[in-house]
């Protein structure tokens, strides 16, 4: 008689995010005899996902969350599937999926719930505390409070913040640093001498990512480095995000041949390999995938002393950490690394060592499955 498989639900806002951040975990679950379902919004990747042996259930999640009736509709759809299919583990990913999914789990009396929140996001950034933020905190209290639920968070600051709410027992908050990086897919690549030092900003074009601070720092350095360095902004203008820098505003700040915007690039391995320095002056993160990928490739990193970012850099070892929104200090750090090819080489090698020690996908999978085992025992 065949062994009965444990039924496993991933609930994620959108299909492409699942592919970029959680696919290896799902494939490991299938290898371990889980029957894996993905509940997410379909943007055209459904066929690709099903080819991996993953059941696909379309949930019409919307990014904005402004329409309360639509959010209630999503909760009802989730509840229906939770009741009908009776999953053994429900793994919500991102704050929104966790909020709506946890309500659905409570209504359908499902207890084996993991809420993986990669970062507390826009509403916890820049000391925002308006009516929307207060409503989200109230909703979190209603959704998340349960002695049975678990949380996976990506940095110690977010663990401390969530513990203050007392949603779950303290030992149900788990720290896993990021979604992991495949060290073979992102191989260590030695820095090469080039005509220009290439500084890469690998993120969406959002104010909260520090893109304006980077552009201002680059402008400070223009007299010295224009012609000898180039700043590359590799990310899309996510116009559904409230913190977006509109393309027309961004284009006014670009300097051809010195500050350039190349938009979203699917092959980020190539972009890291072409770069000499990676810079992310973000206001707050969970644990930025871009920085752990940059570590794996072997690049020195300049980032800010904020939750998530500071977990990716040991100051002076594999890069520089500067206070958030300090344009002059950011410019100084960029200038320092542009000036010294030897520092870039040493820090880049140290970044790879850090990735191997802290951020490999194997470590993330092992730690996550330890939580599954704890829940199922």
Residues 117-144 pLDDT 10s: 986 655 555 555 666 667 777 888 889 9
The answer to the question of residue 190 being in a domain is no
The answer to the question of residue 186 being in a domain is no
Sheet with 197-201, edge to edge strand ranges: 259-261, 229-233, 197-201, 277-280, 301-304, 319-322
Of 173 and 178, the one with more pLDDT: 173
Residue 281: both structure tokens together: 């002056």
Question: Does residue 82 sit in the same domain as residue 154?
Answer: yes
What's the rounded Cα separation, in Å, for the pair 271 and 321? 22
Residue 130: both structure tokens together: 């308006």
Q: What's the confidence (pLDDT) of residue 239?
A: 83
What's the rounded Cα separation, in Å, for the pair 9 and 88? 8
Could you tell me if 202 and 233 are in contact, meaning their C-beta atoms sit under 8 angstroms apart?
A: no
Residues 99-122 pLDDT 10s: 999 999 999 999 999 999 986 655
Question: Does residue 142 sit in the same domain as residue 29?
Answer: yes
Q: What's the confidence (pLDDT) of residue 127?
A: 58
Q: How many domains does the chain have?
A: 2
Residues 228-254 pLDDT 10s: 999 999 999 988 788 899 999 999 999
Could you tell me if 203 and 235 are in contact, meaning their C-beta atoms sit under 8 angstroms apart?
A: yes
Question: Does residue 314 sit in the same domain as residue 337?
Answer: yes
What's the rounded Cα separation, in Å, for the pair 182 and 272? 14
Question: Does residue 30 sit in the same domain as residue 90?
Answer: yes
Q: Using H for helix, E for strand and C for coil, what is the string for 220-269?
A: HCHHHHECCEEEEECCCCCCCCCCECCHHHHHHHCECCCEEECCCCCCHH
Q: Range of 342's domain? A: 197-359
The answer to the question of residue 342 being in a domain is yes
pTM: 0.87
Spatial neighbors of 78 by CB under 8 A, at least 6 apart, are 11, 39, 59, 100, 101, 104
Question: Does residue 309 sit in the same domain as residue 370?
Answer: no
The answer to the question of residue 185 being in a domain is no
Question: Does residue 34 sit in the same domain as residue 118?
Answer: yes
Closest CA to 356 of 306, 318, 309, 320: 318
The answer to the question of residue 258 being in a domain is yes
Residues 342-352 pLDDT 10s: 999 999 999 99
Question: Does residue 175 sit in the same domain as residue 222?
Answer: no
Residue 267: both structure tokens together: 């092959």
Looking at residue 295, the DSSP 8-state letter turns out to be H
Q: What's the confidence (pLDDT) of residue 125?
A: 53
Residues 287-327 pLDDT 10s: 999 999 999 999 999 999 999 999 999 999 999 999 999 99
The answer to the question of residue 123 being in a domain is yes
- Residue 1: pLDDT above 50? no
User: Mean pLDDT score of the chain, rounded to an integer?
Assistant: 93
Q: Above pLDDT 90, what percent of the chain?
A: 84
The answer to the question of residue 246 being in a domain is yes
- Residue 10: pLDDT above 70? yes
Residues 250-289 pLDDT 10s: 999 999 999 999 999 989 999 999 999 999 999 999 899 9
Question: Does residue 213 sit in the same domain as residue 250?
Answer: yes
Residue 161: pLDDT band (50, 70, 90) is confident
Residues 17-36 pLDDT 10s: 999 999 999 999 999 999 99
The answer to the question of residue 192 being in a domain is no
Question: Does residue 267 sit in the same domain as residue 125?
Answer: no
Question: Does residue 284 sit in the same domain as residue 234?
Answer: yes
What's the rounded Cα separation, in Å, for the pair 92 and 109? 16
Question: Does residue 371 sit in the same domain as residue 354?
Answer: no
Question: Does residue 112 sit in the same domain as residue 245?
Answer: no
CATH number at residue 351: 3.40.50.2000
């Amino acid at each position: 008689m065949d062994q009965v498989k444990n039924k496993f639900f991933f609930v994620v806002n959108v299909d492409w995010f699942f592919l970029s951040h959680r696919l290896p975990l799902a494939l490991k679950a299938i290898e371990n005899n889980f029957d894996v379902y993905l509940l997410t919004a379909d943007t055209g990747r459904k066929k690709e996902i099903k080819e991996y042996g993953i059941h696909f259930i379309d949930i019409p999640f919307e990014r904005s969350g402004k329409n309360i009736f639509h959010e209630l509709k999503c909760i009802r759809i989730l509840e229906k599937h939770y009741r009908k299919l009776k999953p053994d583990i429900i793994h919500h990913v991102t704050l929104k999926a966790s909020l709506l999914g946890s309500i659905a789990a409570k209504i359908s009396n499902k207890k084996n719930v993991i809420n993986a929140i990669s970062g507390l996001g826009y509403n916890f950034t820049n000391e925002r505390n308006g009516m929307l933020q207060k409503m989200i905190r109230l909703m979190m209290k209603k959704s998340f409070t349960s002695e049975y639920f678990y949380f996976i968070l990506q940095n110690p600051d977010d663990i401390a913040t969530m513990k203050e709410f007392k949603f779950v027992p303290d030992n149900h908050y788990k720290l896993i640093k990021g979604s992991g990086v495949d060290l073979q897919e992102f191989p260590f690549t030695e820095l090469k001498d080039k005509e220009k030092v290439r500084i890469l900003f690998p993120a969406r074009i959002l104010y909260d990512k520090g893109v304006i601070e980077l552009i201002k720092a680059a402008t400070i350095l223009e007299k010295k480095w224009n012609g000898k360095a180039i700043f590359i902004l590799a990310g899309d203008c996510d116009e559904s995000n409230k913190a977006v820098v509109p393309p027309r505003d961004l284009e006014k700040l670009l300097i051809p041949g010195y500050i350039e915007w190349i938009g979203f690039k699917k092959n980020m391995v190539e972009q890291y390999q072409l770069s000499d320095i990676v810079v992310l002056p973000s206001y707050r993160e969970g644990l930025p995938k871009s920085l752990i990928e940059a570590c794996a490739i072997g690049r020195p990193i300049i980032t800010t002393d904020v939750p998530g970012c500071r977990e990716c850099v040991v100051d002076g070892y594999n890069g520089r950490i500067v206070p958030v929104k300090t344009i002059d200090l950011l410019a100084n750090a960029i200038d320092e690394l542009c000036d010294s090819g030897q520092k870039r080489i040493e820090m880049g090698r140290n970044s790879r060592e850090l990735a191997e020690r802290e951020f490999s996908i194997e470590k993330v999978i092992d730690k996550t499955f330890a939580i599954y085992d704890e829940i199922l025992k």
